Chains A and B, each alone.
Chain A
Amino acid sequence: MKRLKIMTAATVLIVSGALVSPLGTTTAEAYNLFGCRHNTVNVTYSLGATATAYNSPLSSATANWTNTTDANLSQTPPAARISFVAANYGNVGWSGIASGSSTCSGEIYATSSAVGIQINRYYTDAYTATQKQGVIGHEFGHALGLAHTGATSTPCASVVLMNPSDGPRNSCVVYTTRADDRNGVNALY
């Protein structure tokens, strides 16, 4: 009889855990991850070709991640973990790219030149400073390990910095991290 009581209690625990835990997960973790992260909270980046108009948006974007999350982005000379380039790539359909951001070994990025951020000035030269900051901040989100979240049709209240399109971010005035973006990075660092 005692054995029966123990088994019944175990069943209740398992059932309640199965019902409650996933619901909590849904609301707290809308962000998406590549499954890669840097093995330190102090993540360095270096500058390649760029233009004066991108200096302030770059500083604002990296400061925003540093000030709102547990990750610290800082600029160093070459051999940093992230490289940044703003150049004209023509009308090839992207305003920013993070190459290598979903490539790692055993969840950990390489300690040097792991991710390349490229900003396409064909599109972004016409953006305002805050719109530039939005694209740059989005790409640094990739470089820290975040994947895209949301879609073109996502309502403004739910648009985050990691939305894949400039359109919703610009029309909804999302140029800095939102709680969901921060939760994603803080889950990694």
Chain B
Amino acid sequence: MMKKTYEIITASIAVVLLAGCSTVGATAPAGSGRAPGTSDADTTTEGTLHGSIPVDYLALGDLRTSADAVIRGTAVKTEEFVFQEVPHTRTTFKVTEVIAGQLAVDTIIVRQAGTAQTTFDAGAPALRGSQEYLLYVEPFEFVKGQPEPGEYVIVGPGAWEKDTKGAYKLFRNGATTVDVGKIPTLILPTEVSAQLSDK
């Protein structure tokens, strides 16, 4: 009798402790994944640029309104540079298809905040050489209405990277807190034109 009671209590404690572990995980501050004051250097997001977002994009229509063009192509070459203390990446991008909108040239420069090592958390990560992408782009400018020749930026989270199966996956920083609303995280090749074309 005594032994059986002892076993039941021991089992109860084990169950409670296990439940406690998962409960703590579920109720810890979202995003940090840990309680205040508890961390270690290994879990910090090294080199992340934490941005405040000036414009929210929650649907493809929002992206299209701002974008001059929706394009497919390949990142040919990347160049990292620092501009006014902020690391940036310029990518030479070979355009293979203009799905919507207009683009007069077949090679553009895509300018992004962040680099491969220092990721910008509020937009697409720096494009990777030799990878294929689907992008919503608009001209880069320092002054509204005065585009810098040949240079473009990605509109909000409007970048998808082609995976090994040919599908386009939304290209995002894993630690991002950006709300993308109804913007699809996966677009199949057969759906690209139908979903994104103006026609």
Residues 141-185 of chain A, each 1 if its beta carbon lies under 8 Å from chain B, else 0: 010000111011100000000001111000000000000000010
Residue B84 interfacial (CB < 8 Å): yes
Residue B184 interfacial (CB < 8 Å): no
Structural contact, B84 and A22, CB atoms closer than 8 A: no
A90-127 interface (Cβ within 8 A of B): 90-107, 116, 118, 120, 122-123
Contact of B13 among A11, A35, A93, A149 (CB under 8 A): A11
Minimum C-beta distance from A168 to chain B (A): 8
CA distance in complex: A94, B41 (Å): 27
- In this complex, how many residues of chain B approach chain A with their Cβ under 8 Å: the count is 68
CA distance in complex: A34, B120 (Å): 15
Structural contact, B40 and A95, CB atoms closer than 8 A: no
Between A22, A95, A166, the greatest number of chain B beta carbons within 10 A of the residue's beta carbon is seen for A22
Q: A23-31, A51-59, A68-76: which lies at the B interface? A: A23-31
CA distance in complex: A130, B24 (Å): 38
> Could you say which residues of chain B place their CB within 8 Å of the CB of A91?
138, 140-141, 153
Minimum C-beta distance from B180 to chain A (A): 9
Contact of A103 among B38, B46, B52, B123 (CB under 8 A): B46
Residue A87 interfacial (CB < 8 Å): yes
CA distance in complex: A14, B20 (Å): 9
Residue A188 interfacial (CB < 8 Å): yes
CA distance in complex: A32, B33 (Å): 8
> Could you say which residues of chain A place their CB within 8 Å of the CB of B45?
34, 102-103
Residue A82 interfacial (CB < 8 Å): no
CA distance in complex: A118, B83 (Å): 11
Given that A85-B85, A104-B44 are contacting pairs, would A30 and B29 also be in contact in the complex, using a CB cutoff of 8 Å?
Answer: yes
Residue B65 interfacial (CB < 8 Å): no
Say whether chain B's binding surface is mostly helix, strand, loop, or mixed. Answer: mixed
Size band of the A side of the interface? 35 or more
Structural contact, B118 and A88, CB atoms closer than 8 A: no
B15-63 interface (Cβ within 8 A of A): 16-17, 19-20, 23-24, 26-32, 34-41, 43-56, 58
> Could you say which residues of chain B place their CB within 8 Å of the CB of A139?
52
> Could you say which residues of chain A place their CB within 8 Å of the CB of B26?
22
Given that A4-B5, A87-B84, A96-B51 are contacting pairs, would A103 and B44 also be in contact in the complex, using a CB cutoff of 8 Å?
Answer: yes
Residue B9 interfacial (CB < 8 Å): yes
Given that A22-B23, A138-B52 are contacting pairs, would A94 and B122 also be in contact in the complex, using a CB cutoff of 8 Å?
Answer: yes
| B contacts, CB < 8 Å to A | 2, 5-6, 9, 12-13, 16-17, 19-20, 23-24, 26-32, 34-41, 43-56, 58, 83-88, 111-113, 118, 120, 122-123, 138, 140-142, 144, 148, 153-154, 156, 177-179, 181
